[in-house]
Amino acid sequence: MLTFLIPRTEFALRVTPMPKHALTITDKFIYSTIKGLLNLPQRASREIVAISPHLGGGGYIPLPMQKDILVLAHAFRMLTCRDAYVREKSWASLREVVHRKIGRMSPLPSKSLICRYLTGCTDGDLATTTAAVSTVWSRTRKATRDLFVAINPRWEWSDARQELSLRFAHPSQRVDEIIVPASARHRVLALLRRAAVEGLRRKLCAKLDQGKAYDALTASRESSHFMRSGKYTRFCDWRFIHRARLNLLPLNAARKGAVTSRRCRVCRDEDETLPHVVNHCLRHSGAWIRRQDEILALATNMEGGDEQTGGGRPLPPPAGSRDHGGSGGSNSRGGCDCSLR
């Protein structure tokens, strides 16, 4: 779907005034399908479907958001086109739309005012409401406003450099804001998509119920190494791990509504939370030993040495005896998260 179906819709989403309610109907079906592939219940947060697979998500950007991103990228490329004829015609048509917006009796709008129009400002000269026909630029203005919560895009004009630029928030986990100049027009679509996905990731991590465990695993991409290849992952691991990452397992301390007891049904000592079941319940200490031994066996196979040296690199000793060691084959649990606190 992500390789063949979605790319075929990009041109239509970019240039066609398609109603978003039709896209929403299609989105509901795709969301349900991807959640089924990840073995997630329907109450799982929708953001996990859009997040990149290398962070444990489905990699599907919602069609309404995809449409807004494509409209922004298309408008930016037209206004910064290297072909002078296309660029001047684009600016002329945009200036005419803005001039009609502020009133024919007003002077021609400056490029700073045009950028304020594209950003979606409704103050000053742009406060008037007109029954204008839909154009590429009115759709660009609406798309910019629709993406305000996700990436906060802003169109800017520099009088010093005589250049148009597009500013938006969080293009990556480590960068909070970026300015895309005209010279980087070929990268604007990819950067907008990354920013949208990062915005959804931050929204998911901010959720107290489903975002806490997910925020911990996104610290390292190795936590989701199995998403593409499925290496070292069994079907039972696959069915377990996606629910565990969103704290959707049927645990006593994670159930919604009234529960008879929050205590662990195995040890009866602590609340039955996800960190307790995975790392703290002493009844599962045997599984901890087997997990540690399987990790050492995998490291030994990759390094080509023995268990103590690991091919010349010192490794910690096994947590248990060799009787509990794993074979390091395809049944190992290398894909499970073991660092929850």
Both tokens of residue 168? 């938006």
User: Is the per-residue pLDDT at 198 higher than 90?
Assistant: yes
Position 3: which residue type?
Answer: T
Both 61 and 79 in one domain: the answer is yes
- The one-character DSSP state at 334 is T
Tell me the per-residue pLDDT of 31-68, one tens digit each, with 9 for 90 and over: 999 999 999 998 899 999 999 888 889 999 999 999 99
Both 183 and 269 in one domain: the answer is no
Both 55 and 184 in one domain: the answer is yes
Both 72 and 221 in one domain: the answer is no
The helix (H) or strand (E) run that includes residue 166 is: strand 163-169
| Domain closes at, from 161, 179, 205 | 205
Query: pTM of this prediction?
Result: 0.79
- The one-character DSSP state at 54 is G
pLDDT, mean over the chain: 84
Spatial CB neighbours of 188, under 8 Å, sequence gap ≥ 6: 72, 73, 76, 77, 166, 180
Q: Sign (positive/negative) of CA torsion 298, 300, 303, 309?
A: positive
Both 84 and 147 in one domain: the answer is yes
User: What is the total count of domains within the chain?
Assistant: 2
Both tokens of residue 141? 């203005």
Both tokens of residue 59? 């990699």
Spatial CB neighbours of 78, under 8 Å, sequence gap ≥ 6: 86, 87, 90, 136
pLDDT for residue 136: 92
> Residue 336: inside a domain, yes or no?
no
- In this prediction, residue 316 has a pLDDT band, given cuts at 50, 70 and 90, of low
The whole domain housing 34 covers 5-205
Residue for token pair 């990436």: 151
Interstrand relation of 154-158 and 163-169 (parallel, antiparallel or unpaired)? antiparallel
Both 29 and 138 in one domain: the answer is yes
pLDDT for residue 173: 86
pLDDT for residue 332: 40
CA–CA separation, 136 and 165 (whole Å): 18
CA–CA separation, 87 and 163 (whole Å): 12
Both 65 and 86 in one domain: the answer is yes
Both 20 and 149 in one domain: the answer is yes
Both 247 and 194 in one domain: the answer is no
Both 106 and 188 in one domain: the answer is yes
Q: Which long-range contacts (CB under 8 A, 24 or more apart) does 113-116 make?
A: 114/157, 115/155, 115/156, 115/157, 115/164, 116/155
CB 281 within 8 A of CB 267: yes
Both 190 and 221 in one domain: the answer is no
| Domain closes at, from 159, 184, 205 | 205
Tell me the per-residue pLDDT of 258-313, one tens digit each, with 9 for 90 and over: 667 889 888 888 888 888 888 888 887 888 888 888 888 888 887 665 544 444 44
Both 18 and 161 in one domain: the answer is yes
> Residue 175: inside a domain, yes or no?
yes
| Section 161-175 average pLDDT | 92
Tell me the per-residue pLDDT of 1-21, one tens digit each, with 9 for 90 and over: 667 777 888 888 888 888 888
